[in-house]
Structure 1
């Protein structure tokens, strides 16, 4: 009797693990990296991502940051070099089927909420007009954190364990400065 209960429990665990799909894949965009998604039910999922951005893609963002930091008052911005950017995301997603005719796979749209943390090394070059335009350099670690809202579309193939997705998100950055950032990405996940 013990063996039957143990085998039954093992079968339930294996079947439920198979029913709770998950996927791992690549995301291109901002950020570019690895994404892991776990489907908790047909309508809910959690997603975790870690990635980076192409070097200096955020130049305009950091130029605006320079202008908003009081430590750089009375200095003239010259340039910025951003390196070693790491983005970390955690999200809860709510998924809804889309009725699309003449397709074998499954389309879903989703929305959700999450949080993003970004760390980057930033080198600022600037001038001091009060001292014969002395050329100055400052290296700092930038930490950005805040909640984000997500809206996306996902297609899952019927016969291949693969999903394609495209999404956009709006992040409310609370630290290092208070601002909104629009992010977008597309990618693919292998489902298992």
Structure 2
């Protein structure tokens, strides 16, 4: 009996001690040691408008442009005033249909015809028409008029490569004709000037822009000048 009493007292004291220690310990989350708590500063937690902050440059932007050309566009915002833009895409070849048709005569040689033979343009098809350009831009803040808007102007260089298939009628004599075809590859390059507007006062990190360009060829058809332009969106990071 004394042995049982001593044993009961010993286990009773042990249980009392364990309960007392457990009550003094602070509860720990079940995930401790497995996951790290995520800390978000107030500045990052709130929505920032406009997208561009003077103290956070440089920024980068990537997106798309629709127009002439329709392209993938990348922009590096080095400072609040200077940026570099690179666009790669396809031209709106339908806008150049009359021009490409007018170039048919430059690809035919009338002195190779015999007697009454004659060549007459029938139609053409653009197989591909790629364009790439790089521009340096100067930005002007327009917050005094519209929050988040910037105007910009700049200059750069453009490269264009196209392959065109021409069909034509070869008049052999009074009552005999043939429909023939040939392909020509064109490479044009030259300076490009640009003016535009960019708006970035959104809850999302994006900017919208509209721009007008003027391209002047110095290689394939020196002196040929062509207006271009488009609208687009970029994701800013």
TM range (shorter): 0.7 to 0.9
Computed over aligned residues only, the root mean square deviation of the Cα atoms, in angstroms, reads 2.2
Per the TM alignment, residue 59 of structure 1 is displaced from its structure 2 partner at its CA by 1.3
Per the TM alignment, residue 63 of structure 1 is displaced from its structure 2 partner at its CA by 1.1
Per the TM alignment, residue 56 of structure 1 is displaced from its structure 2 partner at its CA by 4.2
Q: How many residues align?
A: 173
- Separation in 1, partners of 2:141, 2:90: 31
SS in 1 for 2:99: helix
Per the TM alignment, residue 20 of structure 1 is displaced from its structure 2 partner at its CA by 0.3
1:128-181 residue CA offsets vs partner (Å, 9 max, x unmatched): 346544322111211111111101111012432100001110100112112001
Per the TM alignment, residue 95 of structure 1 is displaced from its structure 2 partner at its CA by 0.8
Whether 1:35 aligns to 2:73 is yes
Aligned counterpart, 1:128: 170
Aligned counterpart, 2:157: 115
Aligned counterpart, 1:59: 97
- Separation in 2, partners of 1:72, 1:38: 48
Aligned counterpart, 1:191: 236
Aligned counterpart, 2:108: 71
Aligned counterpart, 1:45: 83
- Separation in 2, partners of 1:158, 1:28: 20
Aligned counterpart, 1:182: 227
Richer in strand (by share):
1
Per the TM alignment, residue 83 of structure 1 is displaced from its structure 2 partner at its CA by 1.9
TM-score for the superposition, normalised by structure 1: 0.81
> Taking structure 1 as reference, are residues 70 and 54 closer, same or farther at Cα in structure 2, changes over 3 Å only?
closer
SS in 2 for 1:99: coil
SS in 1 for 2:100: helix
1:37-80 residue CA offsets vs partner (Å, 9 max, x unmatched): 0011111110011101356442122112224x163556322111
- Separation in 2, partners of 1:83, 1:100: 47
- Separation in 1, partners of 2:163, 2:153: 31
| Gap runs ≥5 in structure 2 | 1-55, 111-117
CA contact (8 A) 2:190 2:216 kept: yes
